[in-house]
Copies of this chain bind each other. A is one copy, B any other.
């Protein structure tokens, strides 16, 4: 059998695995949206069986044999051939999954399941000491995971790689650090500014029917195709893909504040546009999948923040928004609205943070999880270290651990190495957006006319259509001609908040 045939067999096999995996995604989506409450236990059993079957397929020795056969083939070694990226990424994923001893996988599943339960209780009771031994166990197991998976730089790289393939702490760390150092004085200046927006409009009446139809209309205008997708309501917004023409967005609505519902729709639609832009004929193969969590987040944050919180965007949409909610917004001029949605202030909770302060929350977590993993910080000393960094970077004192070190689910779920992808998303987004401005000429004008096709085409050409053809760092270099840097994001923040807060 020649390597073309082997490659075909491998691809057929992986596509069939995607059928099974996406079936599980339908069950997960339904669990979050419509499933009746008493059905949860059996749904877990269904998902557990499907996960086991998927894992067995993914780690089948046959896959390793196909990959070995292809390793030195022309097909896999010619970077000009997209098949080389398919083989590279399938190898990466196969190695990662087969290198983990089943015993460790089971121990991690137990520790993180229990960890999340205890975290929920401990957070409610504001009792970090209760959670500490479970977190310590999770960190011990994550170290073992990193050692089993292997790394060349530091242990942290092995975990980061699970969310941001091919990235390393050595590459990402300095960028996050330099971003943070520049943000601290900006955030402080905003805090001290005498300019304050009037956010009283976010305690008015916004009927949910109208929020839904307005949000859907905007997502449609951005280019999201509702023939191949839906919008539903869940406790926490998300985007998930159930098939090559099936992208599901969710949001949550607040009847007195349109921001949570609307900006979640923009954020998730940003993810959804990426998913809808991936080549559907390669669905299930690496060339039909997103590059990394960071690149994915760059798409959601670009639409939510760089487009959706911009003045040109509201030049176009604000009159329509006023028409949709005349009782709540007719008396508020555009400039007042624009300042109100862009209010910035140091705050305790990451998920509620504005774009100027957000990345400091991430830097704190990144520094702490690296220290925990490398053994430079004990779990018992974590709350003090957390509070110290909040004082230093954001100038605020967490009043307790529930609103401090225990606010996020990630560590209790074993997701160490995940947080940086949020900031990477913001960095990539700004760097791409600056390049799009250069390439498209009058991007602001297009947005102000409600024309989103040029930007979406640009994203499709430069990012979406390639799937995992290029790792994130290579993609950034290809598109912008330079490596990842904090420059574009800092320029954007300085310009925008400098003007708003008259810094």
Binding site for B on A (CB under 8 A): 16, 19-20, 22-24, 26-27, 30, 33-39, 41-43, 45-46, 49-50, 225-230, 232, 242-246, 283
Q: With contacts A23-B27, A37-B227 known, what are 4 further pairs, Cβ within 8 A? A: A19-B45, A19-B46, A23-B23, A23-B46
Q: How far is the CA of A26 from the CA of B27 in the complex (A)?
A: 7
Given A20-B49, A26-B30, A30-B30, answer yes or no on A42-B243 (Cβ-Cβ < 8 Å). yes
CB-CB nearest in chain B for A43: B243
CB-CB nearest in chain B for A244: B42
Given A39-B246, A42-B244, A245-B42, answer yes or no on A230-B23 (Cβ-Cβ < 8 Å). no
Chain B residues whose CB sits within 8 angstroms of the CB of A37 once the complex forms? 227
Q: Which 4 A-B pairs have the closest CB atoms?
A: A39-B246, A42-B243, A38-B245, A38-B228
Q: How far is the CA of A225 from the CA of B39 in the complex (A)?
A: 12
Closest beta carbon of chain B to A211's beta carbon, Å:
18
Chain B residues whose CB sits within 8 angstroms of the CB of A45 once the complex forms? 19
Number of copies: 2
Closest beta carbon of chain B to A223's beta carbon, Å:
15
Q: Are A246 and B42 in contact (CB under 8 A)?
A: yes
Given A23-B27, A26-B27, A30-B30, answer yes or no on A46-B243 (Cβ-Cβ < 8 Å). yes
Please pick, from B39, B225, B246, the residue contacting A242 in the complex, using a CB distance under 8 A.
B39
Please pick, from B38, B42, B245, the residue contacting A39 in the complex, using a CB distance under 8 A.
B245
A-B contact pairs, 15 of them (CB 8 A): A16-B49, A19-B46, A19-B49, A22-B42, A26-B26, A26-B46, A30-B30, A36-B229, A36-B230, A37-B227, A38-B225, A38-B246, A41-B245, A42-B283, A43-B243
CB-CB nearest in chain B for A26: B27
Q: Are A34 and B230 in contact (CB under 8 A)?
A: yes
Chain B residues whose CB sits within 8 angstroms of the CB of A26 once the complex forms? 26-27, 30, 46
Chain B residues whose CB sits within 8 angstroms of the CB of A243 once the complex forms? 39, 42-43, 46
Chain B residues whose CB sits within 8 angstroms of the CB of A43 once the complex forms? 243, 246
Closest beta carbon of chain B to A394's beta carbon, Å:
42
Q: How far is the CA of A70 from the CA of B229 in the complex (A)?
A: 50
Q: How far is the CA of A116 from the CA of B226 in the complex (A)?
A: 29
CB-CB nearest in chain B for A15: B45
Q: How far is the CA of A42 from the CA of B283 in the complex (A)?
A: 10
Chain B residues whose CB sits within 8 angstroms of the CB of A42 once the complex forms? 22, 243-246, 283
Q: How far is the CA of A199 from the CA of B227 in the complex (A)?
A: 39
CB-CB nearest in chain B for A228: B38
Q: How far is the CA of A46 from the CA of B33 in the complex (A)?
A: 20
Q: How far is the CA of A22 from the CA of B43 in the complex (A)?
A: 9
Q: How far is the CA of A41 from the CA of B242 in the complex (A)?
A: 12
Chain B residues whose CB sits within 8 angstroms of the CB of A38 once the complex forms? 225, 227-228, 245-246
Given A34-B34, A46-B243, answer yes or no on A228-B39 (Cβ-Cβ < 8 Å). yes
Q: How far is the CA of A319 from the CA of B229 in the complex (A)?
A: 43
Chain B residues whose CB sits within 8 angstroms of the CB of A229 once the complex forms? 36
Closest beta carbon of chain B to A284's beta carbon, Å:
10
Q: Are B244 and A36 in contact (CB under 8 A)?
A: no
Chain B residues whose CB sits within 8 angstroms of the CB of A27 once the complex forms? 23, 26-27
Chain B residues whose CB sits within 8 angstroms of the CB of A246 once the complex forms? 35-36, 38-39, 42-43
Looking at A46, A49, A230, which has the most chain B CB atoms within 10 Å of its CB? A46
Q: How far is the CA of A441 from the CA of B37 in the complex (A)?
A: 37
Closest beta carbon of chain B to A240's beta carbon, Å:
13
Q: How far is the CA of A49 from the CA of B15 in the complex (A)?
A: 11
